[in-house]
Amino acid sequence: MAARKLFAAMMAGLALAGCDPLPKPLYTEYTPPAAFRTEADGVRVDNEGYQLDSQGYRVNKRGERIGMVDVQAKTAGDKSNAVAGYWISNIGEKAPGSVATPSGGAASGSGPGSIMNTNLPTPATMPQQAPITPTPGNVAPPPGYR
């Protein structure tokens, strides 16, 4: 009897060894299309219809890159610093520069960003809620309710 149980357990283990319980990822079955196509004249065009230069950046009809921002030129002379005034331990002093100021509405005390807006309702100016009638305590339960 023990030999039969051992044989059945070995056969079950052998059957399970042939199973692959994990699903197969889709990227092994389906290859996504390329992000660009090459036209007959050799111009590369992305899926949105923009022409691409040799480095793969979008270009307009004049060959100028679209959406590129020269960060160094845009921030030249900017004295703001996100950690201005905080102690920086590795340099042994406070960080230089200034922190960004809030919007005009918040700074002036009026507008959506202001905490000093005096038009906010207070509990005394809020309308009183009417009592709920009938109250749940004095209504009979519906028929069939236990």
**Residue 134 clears pLDDT 70, i.e. is over it:** no
| Residue 106 near residue 114 (C-beta atoms within 8 A) | yes
Classify residue 21: in a domain, yes or no.
no
- The H or E element that residue 71 is part of is helix 71-74
Q: Is 73 part of a structural domain of the chain?
A: no
Residues 6+ positions from 75 with CB-CB distance below 8 Å: none
pLDDT above 80 (res 57): yes
| 15-29, 46-60, 62-76, 84-98: range with lowest mean pLDDT | 15-29
Q: Give the residue, 77 or 54, on which the prediction is more confident.
A: 54
In a domain, 8, yes or no: no
Looking at this protein, which amino acid is placed at residue 88? I
Which one is predicted more confidently, 144 or 40? Answer: 40
Q: Nearest Cα to 55, choosing from 65, 70, 42, 40?
A: 65
User: Residue 22: pLDDT above 80?
Assistant: no
- pLDDT, residue 40, reads 92
Please tell me the distance from the alpha carbon of residue 26 to that of residue 31, in angstroms, as a whole number: 9
Degrees to nearest 5, angle at CA 31 with 30 and 36: 145
How far is Cα 67 from Cα 59, in angstroms, rounded to an integer? 9
**Would residue 36 count as lying in a domain?**
yes
Residue 136: pLDDT band (50, 70, 90) is low
Q: Is residue 89, in this structure, part of any structural domain at all?
A: no
Measured in whole angstroms, the distance separating CA 112 from the mean position of its chain's CA atoms is 25
34 lies in a domain?
yes
Please check the confidence at residue 135 and state whether its pLDDT lies above 70.
no
* Maximum separation of any 2 CA atoms in the chain, in Å: 91
Total number of domains constituting the chain: 1
The 10s digit of each residue's pLDDT in 81-105 is: 777 778 888 888 888 877 766 555 5
The vertex-52 CA angle with 27 and 35, nearest 5°, equals: 10
Element (H, E) at 17: helix 2-17
Residue 32, in any domain of the structure:
yes
Asked whether residue 108 is assigned to any structural domain, the reply reads no
pLDDT over 70 at 48, yes or no: yes
Measured between alpha carbons, how far is 37 from 39 in angstroms, rounded to an integer?
Answer: 6
pLDDT-derived band at 110, boundaries 50, 70, 90: low
Full residue range of the structural domain in which residue 36 is found? 26-59
